[in-house]
Structure 1
Amino acid sequence: MKCPHCDTLNPAGRAFCRHCGQPLRTEEVAEKARRRFRFTWPKGRGRLRRLLAVLAILALLAALVWAGMRYGPRAVDAVRDRLAKPEPVTPAEVTASSSTRGHAAALVIDGLSNRFWEPGHEKHPWVELSFGRPIRVLNVIVTGGVSAEQQVYARQGRPADVRLELWTPDGTRTEKDLHLVDHAGPQTFEMAVGDVTRMRLTVSSGYGLTSGKVPSIGEIEVFRRP
């Protein structure tokens, strides 16, 4: 047998070269080593792997179902809110914490900006709108002050910070803080609150509240999702 390393001839059957001492059958030796260290899976290992794969798939499906039940309706509502064209809704009733003579709370929904609700001299006056059936509120437009004309508007008190509270039939309440800039005209506030049966706007602070002036509101418009 010829040594593959030094070409020395060796008797048949030798494992190593008599001259250089290198292995004579390198491929055979390597194959024996590979067989020696080769790992063999247990017989039941394939079934276990398949079972684990099935369990992983079932866990993933369960997670997807849970996420769909928890977040699916919200996602659908969000898409519908974006695609919907808000339509105005007229409240069934309007009440207030107080009103001066000739400036009742109902004037905030009469469609005229030169007629306004004027509260009495109290710390945090509020006006409340009730609806005949639950609605999904998308926009609320507030026209503060006594007029849409800037010069007339600036002569009287007008709201600055307003706390908006919205109630559902089961009593759940949602609160939002609205800030009106000191300028005549309507100001729009976007939101998405469902199943609203009534809302209250409480004036927390105002502009021009000197010499006994109070924060008046000319108009409140509510838009719902059709």
Structure 2
Amino acid sequence: MLPVLPAKPVAPRPVVRPVAAPEEAAGVPCPACATPNLPGRRFCRRCAAALNPAAKPAPLPWWRTVWPFRRRRARASSGRVVRGLVILAVLLALCAGGLLLLPAGRALIEDTRDKMGKAVAVTPVGIAASAEIPRHPAKNTTDGLNNRYWGAPGPQASVTYTFGKPFRLVNVLITNGASKSAEEYAGQGRALRVDLEVTTQDGDKHTKQITLSDKPGAQPVPTGISDVKTVRLVLSSPAGLTKGRHLALAEVEFFRRS
């Protein structure tokens, strides 16, 4: 047997004892985990979250999100005067446009209502003619019969219709000549142009030249005039007016909006 050699001495391993970290029981609480931290710390001792995060900027007002006021970065006081002037200019432009477009807008609305509504016949309460042929008075133009007519001695004769209440005149039907019958129509003279003069309740006058076709039957004339009180027709441009004949106007019908 071999002899046993003496062993080399081995130093004992050091024992590491953990040192307890002092508890930081007071201080700024972490916004993430609510752990208290001593003043002066920038990050949480537990989760390393930032203790003083940068404050989020306040949201922009709604008008700052609309062009041309939309900006990524702007000082608090920048552009206030310019924005105020722009807003004022826009308001003035809207007011001016409203004043300019108001009459046109009203007319468009009334015309739309005329087309959508139902037309109702209106009978005048008074009829006066500047001249009449015997047995052919001007009242024949509103009797509802197309074989009786108003006879005028010549051009520039006029007839005026008066109404009891103001109304919206949407249409006028004119039956020219002595009758709607073709044979009787050609028996007298006809006015191929009629000057229409409408007077409203406020005294405003609206004039329109109406060109009539030289044929029998009713011919519509759209008007679209509000608050009508009187309507005057003046005959001109005669056709078929020879010796022994006179101008004939068979029927005039007025319609209001229902």
Shift of 1:180: 1.2
Q: Which runs of 5+ in 2 are unaligned?
A: 1-73
Alignment of 1:53-72 (within 5 A): 53-63=86-96, 65-67=98-100, 69-72=102-105
What does residue 95 of structure 1 align with? Answer: 128
Find the structure with the greater CA-based Rg.
2
8 Å contact 2:155–2:191 — kept in the other structure?
no
Q: 2:251 and 2:103 mapped to 1: Cα distance?
A: 38
Count matched residues. 186
What is the TM-score when the length of structure 1 is the normalising length? 0.75
Indicate whether 1:75 and 2:119 are aligned.
no
What does residue 119 of structure 2 align with? Answer: 86
More helix by share: 1
Alpha-carbon spacing, 1:145–1:123, altered in 2? closer, same or farther (3 Å): closer
Identity %: 36
What does residue 210 of structure 2 align with? Answer: 178
8 Å contact 2:133–2:151 — kept in the other structure?
yes
Q: 1:114 and 1:70 mapped to 2: Cα distance?
A: 42
What does residue 240 of structure 2 align with? Answer: 208
Q: CA deviation digits over 1:181-224, x for unaligned, max 9? A: 11111111112111110111110121100113111111000111
Q: 2:114 and 2:156 mapped to 1: Cα distance?
A: 32
Q: Which runs of 5+ in 1 are unaligned?
A: 1-40
Q: 1:165 and 1:224 mapped to 2: Cα distance?
A: 17
Q: CA deviation digits over 1:152-178, x for unaligned, max 9? A: 211211121111110012221111111
The structure, 1 or 2, with the larger RCO (C-alpha pairs under 8 Å, 6+ apart) is: 1
What does residue 136 of structure 1 align with? Answer: 168
Q: 1:129 and 1:202 mapped to 2: Cα distance?
A: 12
What is the TM-score when the length of structure 2 is the normalising length? 0.66
Q: CA RMSD in A?
A: 2.2
Q: 1:199 and 1:46 mapped to 2: Cα distance?
A: 60
Q: 2:246 and 2:229 mapped to 1: Cα distance?
A: 28
